[in-house]
Chain A
Amino acid sequence: DAKTTQPTSMDCAEGRAANLPCNHSTISGNEYVYWYRQIHSQGPQYIIHGLKNNETNEMASLIITEDRKSSTLILPHATLRDTAVYYCIVPLNRDDKIIFGKGTRLHILP
């Protein structure tokens, strides 16, 4: 898997946008960027993925830089339920296992 680098932890005020960065400078042209999160004691949850273009769904937006070496996950209006560990992943093969790193522990503050 392409190596990803994320901050260890971040805080965000409830109701504000949470912007979670990820560096993946060794990504190759056909590798996707995936984001998952794990809320405490629950199974991981898929959030979003993208290749080149920015993506948006009901949960979040994914902004990928033009050179594809970094991306940002945006939770537009964070709530307390968004407190979780967020993982940025670039799998080698798109149907392959996920190698979870340490992720970013996001704390949403009331």
Chain B
Amino acid sequence: NAGVMQNPRHLVRRRGQEARLRCSPMKGHSHVYWYRQLPEEGLKFMVYLQKENIIDESGMPKERFSAEFPKEGPSILRIQQVVRGDSAAYFCASGPGLAGYEQYFGPGTRLTVT
């Protein structure tokens, strides 16, 4: 059973460009979570999605950031008009969303904005 997959693993964007980060959950998992880790800082929750629904986006910046988890295909975290402060590691986790089950994390996408 493949684990959580994220791509790309490394992404370099110039200021003002768009960044699209993809996450494929573990087989059988219908819940996806995105977290961000700024350099030398802790992990911060961003958004929690189920298929075609955003359940909790309380950690998402109000502008430029969006996330989706379509019925088919991976979850996408989209950052428009990137700025240097967006440089971070973005981790995706998946879980079955059932009581008592843990989340499994992917290897992360390291975004560098130049």
Contact = CB atoms under 8 A, between A and B. Distances in A.
Interface string A94-105: 111111111100
A51 B27 CA distance: 26
Contacts, number: 57
B48 A46 contact: no
B43 A34 contact: no
Contacts of B98: 94-95
Nearest to B56: A97
B102 A49 contact: yes
Interface string A30-46: 00101000100111111
A41 B39 CA distance: 10
In this complex, which of A44, A45, A46, A95 has the most chain B Cβ atoms within 10 angstroms of its Cβ?
A95
B95 A95 contact: yes
Contacts of A51: 100
A33 to B, nearest CB: 11
Interface in A23-69: 32, 34, 38, 41-46, 49, 51
Contacts of A103: 42
Contacts of B103: 46, 98
Contacts of A44: 43, 91, 93, 105
Interface residues of B, number: 27
Nearest to A85: B42
Interface string A78-110: 000000000000000011111111110000000
B100 A94 contact: yes
B106 interface: yes
Contact of A95 (B4, B35, B97): B97
Interface of B: 4, 31, 33, 35, 42-45, 48, 56, 59, 89, 91, 93, 95, 97-108
